[in-house]
Amino acid sequence: MKIIALAAGLGAALIAGNAVGADWACQGEASGWPGEMAVTLTVSDHGKLKHGDASLRLGGKAMQLPMAMVTYDFERLGEPALGKVTFVTVGAGVDAENPPKSKTASIELIIGDKRWSRAWGMYAQRPWEGRDAAGFFGAIPMPANEAMGKAIDTADFLLIRVVGDEGGEVIAMRQQALSSRKAIQPLVDEAHAKALAATKDFRNACEVVGERE
C-alpha cells in the first residue's frame, strides 16, 4: 500500500478526472532507513506551488501493524528542509477471524518518557457479512504538538500499543526505531526532487484534489 493511500486517512481525497479550479497532489517516494518516505507537493490548477509535506512510514517495505507514520511540513515551499512535525498517524487493525474481546480500544503512543492516547472504535459501523466483528484497518491521526515533535526528534524508539476496554487487553504492540533529521534527510531530498519534477507536468504526473466537472 502506498504511503499516499495512508495519508488519505487524514481526510485528503484524491479524485481522478478533469477538475475546475482544483489542486493537484504531486508525490515522490524514497525507501531506506528507517522507513518509506513520501513527499507530497500540492500545486494549483495554474501550476503554482501551494503546500508541501513529507511523511515517513517507519519500518521496512513490508507494512506490519500497528504502524506509525510521521508527517512533517517544510520550512519553505519548494525546498526540502523539514519544518515541524504536524501529525503522527497510527495504523491498526482487527481480525474478523480472531477478534479481540474488546469492542473499543485506546491507541497509545509512547516516545521516550512521554505518552499520548486516542480512542479508537476498532469496528466498522455495521456488521460485515453478517458477523458482529468486522475485519477493519484504521488510520488514526494524532495531531502533533511541540512536545511530541521534540520527542520524535530526540528519542531512539517509538512504541505503539493498542489497549482494549476489556480488562486492559493488549490487542497489539510494536516498537519502531526513530532516526535523527540528519539521518533521514537523504530520503527527504530524493523524494522531494521526484515530487518537484512531477509538478512540471502536473496534469499528467499528479493526482487531482478537488471537485470534478
Q: What does the pLDDT look like over 144-197, one tens digit per residue? A: 999 999 999 999 999 999 999 998 899 999 999 999 999 999 999 999 999 999
What pTM was estimated for this model as a whole? 0.82
Residue position matching grid coordinates 526528534: 153
Confidence at residue 18, expressed as pLDDT on a 0 to 100 scale: 42
The share of the chain scoring above pLDDT 90, in percent, equals 64
> Average model confidence (pLDDT) for the chain?
84
For residues 99-113, give the mean pLDDT.
91
Residue 11 has pLDDT above 50, yes or no: no
Contact 162/105 with Cβ under 8 angstroms?
Answer: yes
How many angstroms separate the CA atoms of 146 and 196, rounded?
28
Q: How many domains does the chain have?
A: 1
Q: What is the pLDDT of residue 192?
A: 98
Q: In angstroms, what CA-CA distances link 69 with 14, 37, 125, 137, 197?
A: 19, 9, 25, 15, 24
User: What is the number of other CB atoms lying within 10 angstroms of the CB of residue 158?
Assistant: 22
Q: What is the pLDDT of residue 62?
A: 76
Per-residue model confidence as pLDDT tens digits over 123-144? 644 444 555 544 567 788 899 9
51 DSSP β-pair partners:
42
The band of 19, judged by pLDDT with boundaries at 50, 70 and 90, is very low
Domain, as residue range, for 144: 3-209
- Can you give the pLDDT at residue 98? 82
pLDDT in tens, 47-68: 999 999 999 999 977 778 899 9
For 14-21, what is the mean pLDDT?
Answer: 44
Please name the helix (run of DSSP H) or strand (run of DSSP E) that holds residue 122, with its range, or none: none
Number of residues assigned to the chain: 213
Contact between 206 and 194 under an 8 Å Cβ cutoff? The reply is: no
